[in-house]
Structure 1
Amino acid sequence: MTLIDNPGTGADRDAGLAPLQFLVQRNLQAKNDAQRAQILENPGFGTHFTDHMVDVCWSVGGGWHRPRVQPYGPISLDPAAAVLHYGQEIFEGIKAYRHADGSIHTFRPDQNGRRLQRSARRLALPELPVSYFIQSLRELIKVDGAWVPDAADQSLYLRPFMFAKEAFLGVRPANKVNYYVIASPAGAYFSGGVKPVTIWLSEDYARAGKGGTGAAKTGGNYAASLLPQAEAYENGCDQVVFLDQDGNVEELGGMNVVFVYKDGTVVTPMSDSILEGITRDSILQLAEDRGHKVQGRAVSLAEWREGVASGDIVEVFACGTAAVVTPIGGLKGRTFFDEQPTGSLALSLREELTDIQYGRREDKHGWMLRLDA
């Protein structure tokens, strides 16, 4: 069962492509062991960064060139850089995990690389070969592997991103682009255990439209979600859920939604305006392995509410890279509050997936890739 691109090794599309030859420039002001250990005691999420970053250039005439690992620091941009005016930008999110033997692994990087390619295609950016994508993660881990935490449920969050760097004010795809990878140690998402969240229904705003950029991982989609997310906070909710123009459920601001029905069927909304979640696809595969019927189809708000009211829907949860799986305990709109059923499947699947990621359980699907070998 897969709802995303062919889950192969990631090298099949790049067969015969020579690896990039990276230049490594060491950070002379890198954190020492004591400073790094102090940060890793309580890393939070996205607030501390490792000592280095990957930087690869692309141009129409030169292709991918000048690959390097360099000190983490500010990026110099011309005020006319296309990304600042036309938003030609994409990114990914992926984690590195330290296993009990000290080795460092990541989870399904071929799929992140392919999703970056799909995002690039939609934003008229060059498609980075999947083998280069995976190599860029390896190259950063070579110099910053000590930043991968070894505490329970901690990881190193890797953020590959690409944007148009050419300086011009014409409305066309840029001829010069840069690809970067930065990394940030991440603590346990739920420090006190996984707790159900309450979701605010956005009735005035949309995160994407038919034929738009909803299926691409681009900053503009997230910028469009910030105002309704603020509205969610104002109404005492943790996250916001969006509907499409037909009243069907799309996704949360940064997570996919999954419904569990009383007959055991597991359903997730699917359309060309929803980001194809790698965590979602993996969770659904594990559910299918257990014998659950899995469906990707349209789910209307009416079906959601009526299914909960009738008992046909027995569990609702969200999933994504950062939190993995989060039970949904409440759906709130302007005129209603629906308590959501929270069963055991979500947390059981979360435990199984994280056990695979941290090397505590057999990886039957070959999802893990060692980065420090």
Structure 2
Amino acid sequence: MNGHNLAPINASSLFFTPLPPSHIVPPGKESHGRYMLTIPWNRVSGWGQPKIGPRQDLSFDPLAGVLQYAVTCFEGMKCYKTEQGDLRLFRPKKNFDRLKRSASRLGLPSEWDNDELLELFAKLMALEAPLVPNTDGSNLYIRPTLLETSEGFGIKEDAFAAEALLYVVTTLNLGLGLYGSAEGEGKGIKLDACKEFIRAWPGGTGSYKLGANYGTVNISKKPGYAMSLWLHGQEDFISEAGAMNVFIIKQAEDGFLEFITMSLNNGIVLPGVTRESIIELLTEHAEGEKDFPIDGMPKKIRVVQRDISMPEIIKGVEDGTLKGMFGCGTGVVVVQVGEIRYQGTTYKIPSNPLIKIIRDTMTGIQRGKIDEGRDWSFKVPEWNPEGKEGQPEEEVTAA
């Protein structure tokens, strides 16, 4: 970025600070992880020393870019514990690549070795191992966040941050309350098809995981509904529901059962890791390359990526060709949609047992019960540090 060799993220230079013997969990923070990973960056020297230490508050200049202009992006990941007590991460490098893409869109640092970052993640997860639940549907949620810490006030000479911070914290069981929504009739979630607020548009930032994309989610959600179903265009095409990708299951005229989800081509929807994984599994099954990991998936299926409008969904409900609808994402894994409120009318969406098969397949892979043959489930190595270790602690200064 500046013509010089910038320091990379280097896991071997980690500085670890253990919890003090007197550590007490603050009231209201019982569900949060005890540790956090921080890695500073500046545009002159590159990445600074990674540190893992007790979770603590962050401080910034009042004119920091993250505070003034929401220059921040993040990822959502989960750590699972197997029945044998192993810790697993699901396709973590996919999340790292998406974080790079989001960071680049904001002028934040977007270059690092994924293997180095994964080693640091694994050590953080190993420290939190006692907190990770092992019950079905439970998890330790991981929130990597990258933000501008340098002054971002006014029009700058270029769009790139002078200083940034990558940090990672954890908390328990995001999405657990929706886990049972794929179980069958009457379990699906309720969505409100939102026309008052627009989440994303062509050429915008809808396909990036930026903090600014999610600030309107809560204010737009109607009471009694799990999430907003975001619409766009005069045709009222659907895009995402809340912060998850959406599929409909539809009977085609040629007898095939179609799994239809919005294409990524126009940049409105996030390229979800769960979405991509489901598409891969269904496509391989449809093409006869590899059977779906759990029995019960029909052979005559196809995956279609195209626009889906609310009028098409309503017509499918009325003529019986709509066979189900579900959302997917890291937080929720797979959830069935039970009804949609649109233009003052509530439409009941039929349940479909295939949705539970997809959910059980995804959670089985994530928790190490199913080996899909692709190394999607990363086993976290054990790490038991004693006291402070790693390179001597550096003082990282702004440039």
Q: Is the 8 A contact 1:31 1:51 kept in 2?
A: no
The answer to whether residue 295 in structure 2 is matched with residue 307 in structure 1 is: no
Distance (whole Å) between structure 2 residues aligned to residue 143 and residue 284 of structure 1: 34
| Compared CA separation, residues 29 and 341, structure 1 to 2 (3 A) | farther
Contact 1:284–1:294 (Cα < 8 Å) also in 2: yes
Q: CA deviation at 1:30?
A: 7.3
Quote the residue 1:6 is aligned against: none
Alignment pair present for 1:358 and 2:352:
no
Q: Specify the alignment match of 2:155 in structure 1.
A: 171
> Of the candidates 253, 271, 276, which is equivalent to residue 242 of structure 2?
253
Over 3 Å counting, the alpha-carbon distance change for 1:55 and 1:30 in structure 2 is farther
Does 2:269 align with 1:286? no
Name the count of aligned residue pairs: 345
Q: Superposed, which structure 2 residues align to 1:75-224 within 5 Å?
A: 75-129=58-112, 130-172=114-156, 173-186=160-173, 189-190=176-177, 193-194=180-181, 195-224=187-216
Is 1:226 the counterpart of 2:228? The answer is no
Deviates more, 1:143-152 or 1:98-107: 143-152
For 2:203, give the aligned amino acid.
G
Deviations 1:105-144 (A, max 9, x none): 1000011011101111111211142234322311212322
**Are 1:52 and 1:72, in contact at CA under 8 Å, matched by a contact in 2?**
yes
In the TM superposition, what is the alpha-carbon distance from 1:207 to its structure 2 partner? 0.7
Shifted more, 84-93 versus 260-269: the winner is 260-269
Report the Cα offset of residue 20 of structure 1.
4.6
Secondary structure of the residue aligned to 2:128 is helix
Deviation of residue 48 (structure 1)? 1.8
- CA distance 1:308–1:365, shift in 2 (3 Å): farther
Residue matched to 1:269: 262
Residue 80 of structure 1: how far off its partner (Å): 1.4
Q: Name the SS for the 1:341 alignment partner.
A: coil
Q: TM-score, normalised by structure 1?
A: 0.86
The alignment status of 1:69 with 2:79, answered yes or no, reads no
For the pair 1:55 / 2:38, whether they are aligned, the reply is: yes
AA of the residue aligned to 2:161:
A
Give the % identical residues.
27
What CA distance in whole angstroms lies between the structure 1 residues aligned with 2:84 and 2:349? 40
User: Offset at 1:285?
Assistant: 2.2
Contact 1:30–1:51, Cα closer than 8 Å, also in 2: no
Matched, 1:321 2:309: no
Q: Aligned letter for 2:325?
A: V
Determine helix, strand or coil for the equivalent of 2:202: coil
Match of 1:238 among 214, 226, 244: 226
1:339 matched to 2:328? The reply is no
- Structure 1 partner of 2:16: 24
Deviates more, 1:329-338 or 1:90-99: 329-338
Shift of the 342–123 alpha-carbon distance from structure 1 to 2, 3 Å rule, reads same
Equivalent residue in structure 2 for 1:298, among 296, 307, 313: 307
* 1:227-261 per-position Cα deviation (integer Å, ceiling 9, x unaligned): 211xx22xx32211111234211101111110111
| Other structure's SS at 1:180 match | strand
**Relative to structure 2, which stretch is displaced further, 145-154 or 263-272?**
145-154
- Structure 1 letter corresponding to 2:323: V
Structure 1 224/171 Cα, relative in aligned 2: closer, same or farther at 3 Å? Answer: farther
Bigger mean CA offset, 134-143 vs 253-262: 134-143
User: How much is the aligned-residue C-alpha RMSD, in angstroms?
Assistant: 2.4
3-state secondary structure, aligned to 1:242 = strand
By relative contact order (CA 8 Å, sep 6+), the higher-ranking structure is 2
Q: Deviations over 1:13-34 (max 9, x none)?
A: xxx98645210011215768xx
Q: Is the 2:313–2:322 Cα contact (8 Å) retained in structure 1?
A: yes
Letter in 1 for 2:285: R
Amino acid paired to 2:208:
A
Any gaps of 5 or more consecutive residues in structure 2? 1-7, 182-186, 287-300, 383-399
- State the distance in 2 between where 1:144 and 1:342 align: 37
CA deviation after TM superposition for structure 1 residue 82, in Å: 1.2
For 1:348, give the aligned amino acid: I
Which deviations, in whole Å up to 9, do the C-alpha atoms of 1:278-298 show, x marking residues without a partner? 111112222224323112111
Residue 250 of structure 2 aligns with an amino acid whose one-letter code is Y
* Conservation of the 8 A alpha-carbon contact between 2:10 and 2:116: no
Once the two structures are superposed, residues 124-165 of structure 1 have per-residue CA deviations (whole angstroms, 9 ceiling, x without a partner) of: 211142234322311212322222222332211111001000
The structure with the larger Rg is 2
For 2:267, the aligned partner's letter is: D
Q: Could you tell me whether the CA contact under 8 Å between 2:41 and 2:47 is conserved in 1?
A: yes
Secondary structure (helix, strand or coil) at the match of 2:351 reads: coil
Q: Flag the 1:124–1:184 CA change in 2: closer, same or farther, 3 A.
A: same
Helix, strand or coil: the match of 1:265?
strand
**CA separation of 1:244/1:30 partners in 2, compared to 1, >3 Å: closer, same or farther?**
farther
TM-score by length of 2: 0.81
